[in-house]
Structure 1
Amino acid sequence: MNKKNLFIASIWLLLLCGSSQAQTFNPVTYSPAVKQIEVDGNKCGLQLYVAPEGNDNASGKSPATAFKTLEKARDEVRAIIKNGKLPKGGIAFNLLKGNYPLTRSFELNNFDSGTENAPIIYRPYNNDDVHILGGVNIKNSSFLPVTDPAVSARIDPAAKGKIIQLNTRSLGLTRTGVFPDIFNDGGGIFEIFVNDTRLPLSRWPDEENSTMKEVVNPGDKNIPGSFIYRGDRPKRWMNSKDIWLKGFWRVGWEEPAIKVAKIDTANSQITFKAGLPNGIGSKYQRPKGSGKEEWYAINLLEEITRPGEWAIDFNTGIVYLWPPDDFKDGNIVISQLDKPVISAKNLANTAFINLNIEGSLGDGIVIEHGERCLIAGCTLKDLAGNGVILDGNKCGIQSCDMFALGKGCIAISGGNSEKLVESGNYVINNHLHDYGVLKSQYSAAIDLYSETKGAPAVGILVAHNLIHHAPRDGVLYAGQKNVFEYNEIYRCAYATADVGAFYSWLDWTIRGLVIRFNYIHNTVGGVNPDDGASGTFVYGNIFWGNRTGVWIASGPDHTIQNNIFIKNEGPVFGMDDRGVSRGYATNKSLLGKVKSINPQAAPWSETFPEMPTLLDSHPELPQRTRFSGNIIWIKKGTPLSIKMNKTNLADSGLLKTKNNFVTADDPGFTDFLKGDLTLKKGAPAYQKIPDFPQIDFKKMGLYIDKYRKRLPTAKEAGKLPSQNPWKADDNDTYFGT
């Protein structure tokens, strides 16, 4: 080839490489195409009013002539929209102070939508305190003394003379059971709240759990299991017709409740009425189990042993309650609605601002196929379901408080995975805590997969959220081109196994997942892509705590770069090759997801160049894992735990580590003892890693905006020493999956 042709070929090569590089995903600089929604109810051309004491025959045009129900106001606007007379600036629903109890979901659809320049806004009038309820108020006088001698004989001595009863049937209450034979949440029955506090079903033991002594018969989906129990407590339950036990019968990430068929007190043996698909007893120690499988009994009259506990007799419909101290003059709500409080389909340009949504058996707000919808400044609490489930595009959940939830807080999806079309959705500045109360496993503060039934999640921004106090995960992540930044996560995952502040599983199409500049501390697990989950870029985060770190469970294409790890003892990073022994190479779920997105064609082949040949290059192994430029402050131990066979250990294509700074001394924080983890100028860490990024530690977590007027106190944020869920003697350092 002559010099001229060589020059032309070189130019073409540069152009081609430049073109490809321009389209390749760059996780350091990438941010989703998000535009925050701005609304102002005061600029709406039409102001309508709703009040608990209103009149649906009134005009609704002023506080004095307010409608009574949300449905009437909605239908009024629906007629306006149908006639094409949407006023300039949109329509504001102004809800006057008080409670709005619902017996059915408040339903919206495309006929209730605004436009981008004329949105529909639901908000409190004059910043009043507005509560939309999925329950009913009950008078204290409806509770009566226990007079049945047979019932009194079953009451614990400590509770004698203190239990009162409520006849749910005489009050017309529904959702009174019976529990299913097997369930993993609240079992579908109502809940009781006194002064905004959920009252717990009775349980034994009160705090800790009992353990199985030995499995007699593990059973299966057709054969109920049986086991030998410890102690003699079940003797107290022989007069109870319905008994359910809830526990980690097989693994630490499943907690079903199962109905008891028989208690044999002579042999200390319990036999269940229904079988679990994989039986009972630790899956690692069959057939007799480990003797450490935890369980507890629920909803037994005999186990009402503390103020606030209650139980229901499913045969009579009578509730037995040891009233809490504030019961006499308290506000009592019993949840009844088992559907979403607000349910919307194909809704666009609608905002829900500063509303309280609570006291329901279902979810708070569910939006399917939404477009430019906003949920901002709302409080969602005391729900048996999730706070918000939202599927759509260009939607936002901003500056909300969600807590005391039976399941998770926010489940969000949108975009198109096959075409890598970004949704433009965002979850920003929310305080999410004390969730997973009824369904402890796989209930997350933010969920991009499980609660949306695997819907696409592309181009979602999750930023500045404060997440704490939950039995399991902070974030369940999936999808493509999603960014999680400046979030703070702590005191989670204290009642489970195989967990992470960020957790994903069984998916090779997870790509372009950016987890950067988050503060993850005093929790179990850090970033844990489980069962071959792939494609995570972990950058600029601070991990602090004996049980935090990053563990790669045989998934390909992970980069862990420029993070700070603070632990008493290593490791801080782990990786294994379990995909070989578990047959990930032929796993139908993993393979099916890859084939569904057509990885050989654009945009996948251009955005993620490793995808066209992924299935040809042993994807069951943690290919192309990078651990570089990290600051590791540990007092003892080694930073890495690599659990692979000799052949894979020798494969340089699996793991590359370089330029990590491991030290037993302070790497140069501004004030570690006072909790300021900003690196000082000239810190030893910068001398060892000169290009280490400046991590804006003070930027992490919540901030003040138009919907969040103040930041939570230390108590509200669950940061007091007394609010620590960990045992003082818990020295476990394991953080893997």
Structure 2
Amino acid sequence: MKNIRYILLAAGLVLLLTFPLWRFGWSDSRLGSLDSGPDPQTPVNVYVDGAATANGQNGSKQHPFTTIEAARDYIRELQRPLPQGGITVWVKGGEYTLASTLEWTAADSGTASSPIIYRSFSGEKVSLTNGKTVNPADWQPLDAQARSRVNPAIKPDQLVELDVRKLGFRNINGFTGGDSFTEQWGILQLIVNDTMQPISQWPNRDDASQGTRPGWAVASGILNARSFFYDPKQSQNTGAASRMMRWEQAIKSGHDVYLQGFWRTVWSPVTIRIQQIQAASRSIELSKTPKGGIGSKFSAFAEDATNHNPYRVGDGSEEWRLLNLLEEIDQPGEWALDFKDGKLYYYPSRPLNQSQTVIADNTDPIVRINGASYMKLIGFEFKNGMGNGITMQNTNHITLAGLTIRNVSNGGITDIGGSQNMIQSNDIYDTGSFGISVSNAGNRAKLESSNTRITNNHIYNTGILIHLEPLIIRESVGMRIDHNLLHDVPKDAIRYTFSNKLLFEYNEVHNTGLVEGDTGAFYTAQDWGSYGNVLRYNLIHHNQRSNGFYADGGSSGNTYQNNIIQDTKRAFIIENGHHNVATGNLLINIGTMEINDRSSSLNYGLNSEYAKRLRALNPMSGAWKTYGEQLAKQYGLTGNLWSHVLSAGWKPQYPNGSKLNNNVIIGQATIALPKKGDTSATGNTTIKTIQAAGFYNYSNLDLRTNNNAILKKFPSLNRVITEIGLYKDPYRVQPLKRNEYDALRNHASTSN
């Protein structure tokens, strides 16, 4: 019977070849154009059409399955081995709402000669969602109690409420992190007309009157480790009751009120519930003490006014904002989830009977691929989930290409324990957390490469709820990350940690660190063993709120070669660590590049965490021993690198072997080196002006030049600058150009 199916489906190939498939991709003006690529020529073809009749489904073009799950299950039943050339599942355009996660396992694997391909028809948009559409009739006017809490700047009739408890939504009783959290959000998300709606906040996102930038207020001083003073003007509000009085009344009525703040550091803001507001002293007490206590870590110590404990005096740099409260909904689009009421309050920008409202309440990923191999997902859109778009675990030879992932409360794509995977030409944006996260790719204990590649992806507007990076790589070996475009993100663009032999090349990054401080376009930290990571031919531009390449906390063995860094305060910042070498880079309009020694204030010695992590890798045996011998030769040392690093005589607490040599600086910049450690900054060339550099078209970042002084240090510049960033391939048919979207200026500090 299964062989007969093969014959029938193979015969369908003839029909397929004459079937008129459109050869253009659907487009979004912000993204350029994606497509699902050329039509594969496979001997077996299965069809899915969600709008088809449910009668007589057999997967043929005439009687397609109505769900992707049905096609998957059909393929599972086919006789093995699969036909030479593989199987293609063709999915007709439309929106497919999934009752549960769409999952593939090892049982769904293809082979190298018989891959299994799931793809949309070229030119047709296939959307997969696990969000729940809300009936417009379920939105109701505010009840009397809620009306009494409405911001006096608006009228109660402008808001509506949704009884999410009565409707059976699950993630409505509180933030996952409880009273205090940094990365645990965990409440449902509101999506209206295909756009994630902003949770209510004070100050408003465009209001700079309460601090130094829009969307944030600053502390007026610190009372003790968990209490701070607010400015009298911050209590003012239109109407009879002051802002703080209304917040205090909400708390007394049992409604949770949360503040998010940079209580001690300028990175990783912590969200904490308010315990009480003291109007007499104009102070706010948090329910939990932030780690280290309130007060910038860079300010002086003082004594707690009540308990005589040391705390840091606030210096006006401690930024904070209120999140998720009915009382502060005052702009169209804002909403708040009230945990006590079990209701979602919303200020619609247009009548809800003219809108599509979706609630993302499913914490599972939209798609999970667990243990499968030799599969391809091509040309789909994943949206409106509360979890990840796609989660992969222990996979190999999986291709994700031409996908769009957006409006997800967590991340876009997670790849855990994978190898030989290809993540290519995807658009990922409007995510609550990260874009792409890869961990445990390859085998670090044995230094075995994963050979996974991440290429030609456009990732932006990530970290809307939780500030994680658009691209994260952890505990991985042997990956290529190239030609990606990353921009408009709250912190670092690329974070890679505890990894080896990563190649970052031809990536374009701009406008990072828009919310947090002390960040880097490329950031790594805390590993003496992280040798072999090469960063070359990358372009960082319009990046005033962030550093360029940041090797923090002892990170070692990074090679920065022939990169271009423009309009960035610190092009390179290397904090201790070893053998971080920057050479042949083009640096335009930067403030400084520096190598620092922090060993006098922090532990970077042989009893440090960095030394312990290196010893845990057993570096004097197996693959690590061999690697140490190779590295010793590379850096001009005798024997084994690790025997030097782990010896007191080599003084590993200092940034030994780090160099900033033979770079080209356009404009005025300073170079800072520490007094201790084996470091250098030699052979650097300075050209005083942009005009003297002779760039073809600096305003459009066409940095080709005939300037011999530049080309001597960066011989391949004129080729490299034309190849950086997104490229045309079968899935990205119309790459963005920098002058076709808002890429050629520094964007304002934002409030996500």
Common topology (TM > 0.5): yes
1:149 aligned partner: 144
Would the aligned equivalents of 2:228 and 2:283 in 1 still touch at CA under 8 Å?
A: yes
1:292-327 Cα offsets, whole Å, 9 max, x none, are: 211111111111110000112222222111102475
Output the amino acid matched with 2:444: S
**Contact kept in structure 2, 1:41 and 1:121, CA below 8 Å:** no
Q: Which residue of 2 aligns with 1:633?
A: 666
8 Å contact from structure 1 (residues 394, 423) kept in 2 = yes
Deviates more, 1:302-311 or 1:586-595: 586-595
Please name the residue that 1:528 is paired with.
Answer: 550
Matched, 1:477 2:496: yes
Question: Match of 1:411?
Answer: 437
Q: Give distance in 2, aligned partners of 1:459 and 1:419.
A: 12
Counting only pairs closer than 5 Å after superposition, residues 95-174 of structure 1 correspond to structure 2 as 95-146=91-142, 148-160=143-155, 161-174=157-170
Structure 1 position 74, deviation (Å): 2.0
Q: Which residue is 1:192 aligned to?
A: 190
Flag the 1:431–1:39 CA change in 2: closer, same or farther, 3 A. closer
Write the letter of the residue equivalent to 1:261: Q
Which residue in the other structure is 1:732 paired with?
Answer: none
Map 1:334-345 → 2, pairs under 5 A: 334-345=359-370
Contact 1:39–1:119, Cα closer than 8 Å, also in 2: no
Matched residue type, 2:274: V
Q: What SS is found at the alignment partner of 1:72? A: helix
Instruction: Name the CA distance, whole Å, in 1 between partners of 2:626 and 2:741.
Output: 42
- Matched residue, 1:389: 414
CA deviation string 1:243-264 (max 9, x = no partner): 0111111111121211112112
SS in structure 2 of the partner of residue 315 of structure 1: coil
Instruction: For 2:132, give the aligned amino acid.
Output: V
Which aligned pairs between 1:166-565 and structure 2 lie closer than 5 A?
166-179=162-175, 180-185=178-183, 187-207=185-205, 208-218=215-225, 225-231=226-232, 232=235, 233-240=243-250, 241-285=255-299, 286=301, 287=311, 288-325=313-350, 327-391=352-416, 392-413=418-439, 414-440=441-467, 443-449=468-474, 455=475, 457-478=476-497, 479-523=499-543, 524-565=546-587
Say which is worse superposed, 375-384 or 587-596, in terms of deviation.
Answer: 587-596
**Residues 433 and 171 of structure 1: CA distance in aligned 2, closer, same or farther (over 3 Å):** same
Question: CA separation in 2, counterparts of 1:186 and 1:334?
Answer: 19
User: Shift of residue 632 of structure 1?
Assistant: 0.5
8 Å Cα contact 2:705/2:718 also seen in 1: no
Residues 63 and 96 in structure 1, CA contact (< 8 A), matched pair in contact too? no
Partner in structure 2 of residue 4 of structure 1: none
**CA positional deviation for 1:671:** 2.2
Deviation string, structure 1 residues 650-671 (Cα, Å, up to 9, x no partner)? x5xx112222101213353332
Q: Which moved more, 1:554-563 or 1:313-322?
A: 313-322
Cα distance in 1, alignment partners of residues 333 and 591 from structure 2: 43
Question: Is 1:725 aligned to residue 742 of structure 2?
Answer: no
2:699 corresponds to 1:674: yes
The SS at the match of 1:501 is: strand
Q: What secondary structure is seen at the aligned counterpart in 2 of 1:611?
A: helix
8 Å Cα contact 1:507/1:532 also seen in 2:
yes
**How far 1:447 moved relative to its partner?**
0.8
AA of the residue aligned to 1:49: Y
Q: Which string of whole-angstrom CA distances, capped at 9 and with x for unpartnered residues, describes residues 142-169 of structure 1?
A: 21222x2332222123320211111213
Which residue number in structure 2 is paired with residue 735 of structure 1?
none
Residue number in structure 2 paired with 1:600: 620
CA distance in 2, matches of 1:76, 1:375: 22
Which stretch has the larger CA shift, 277-286 or 226-235? 277-286
Structure 2 CA distance for partners of 1:695 and 1:531, relative to 1, 3 Å: farther
Give the Å deviation of 1:92: 1.9
SS state at 2:219 partner: strand
| TM superposition shift of 1:40 | 6.8
Q: Is the contact between residue 433 and residue 468 of structure 1 (CA under 8 Å) also seen in structure 2?
A: yes
Counterpart position of 2:88: 92
Give the stretch that moved more between structures: 591-600 or 516-525: 591-600
- The 2-side partners of 1:624 and 1:525 are apart by 21
- Looking at structure 1, the residues matched to 105 and 689 of structure 2 have their Cα atoms a distance apart, in angstroms, of 59
Aligned to 1:731: none
Cα 1:716/1:250, change in 2 over 3 Å: farther
Bigger Cα displacement from structure 2, 69-78 vs 622-631:
69-78
Asked whether the equivalents of residues 425 and 460 of structure 1 are also in contact (C-alpha less than 8 Å), the reply is: yes
Q: 1:589 to 1:68 in 2, by over 3 A?
A: farther
1:17 alignment counterpart? none
Change (3 A) 1:307 1:112: same
Q: What is the root-mean-square deviation of aligned Cα atoms in Å? A: 2.3
User: What's the secondary structure of 1:459's corresponding residue?
Assistant: strand
Aligned mates of 1:255, 1:128 — CA distance in 2: 41
Q: Whole-Å Cα distance in 2 between the matches of residues 140 and 711 of structure 1?
A: 38
Question: What residue is the counterpart of 1:62 in the other structure?
Answer: 60
Alpha-carbon offset, residue 123 of structure 1? 1.1
What are the superposed Cα offsets for residues 653-707 of structure 1, whole Å, 9 maximum, x if unpaired?
Answer: x1122221012133533324433443433534347x5968655211111111000
Q: Deviations over 1:131-186 (max 9, x none)?
A: 1112111233321222x233222212332021111121333222223222122246
Amino acid at match of 2:84: K
Partner of 1:655: 679
Change (3 A) 1:257 1:279: same
1:615 aligned to 2:615? no
CA contact (8 A) 2:75 2:108 kept: yes
Shift of 1:565: 0.7
Rounded to whole Å, the distance in 2 between the matches of 1:268 and 1:581 is 36
Match of 2:76? 78
Task: Give the direction of change, closer, same or farther, for the CA distance of 1:713–1:319 in structure 2 (3 Å limit).
Answer: farther
AA of the residue aligned to 1:464: H
Name the CA distance, whole Å, in 2 between partners of 1:149 and 1:165. Answer: 12
Q: Distance in 2 between matches of 1:596 and 1:352?
A: 38
Q: Which runs of 5+ in 2 are unaligned?
A: 1-35, 206-214, 236-242, 302-310, 633-640
Contact 2:704/2:717 (8 A) holds in 1? no
Deviations 1:302-361 (A, max 9, x none): 111100001122222221111024754222211021011111221100111011011111
- The structure-2 alpha-carbon separation of the partners of 1:103 and 1:279, relative to structure 1 and needing over 3 Å to count, comes to farther
Cα 1:55–1:595 change in 2 (3 A) is farther
Deviations 1:478-508 (A, max 9, x none): 3111111111100111211221010011001
1:709 aligns with 733
Is the Cα contact below 8 Å between 1:121 and 1:350 reproduced in 2?
yes
Distance 2:190 2:102 in 1: 22
AA in 1 matched with 2:270:
P
Conserved in 2, the CA contact under 8 Å of 1:396 and 1:426? Answer: yes
1:658/1:695 Cα in 2 relative to 1: closer, same or farther (>3 Å)? farther
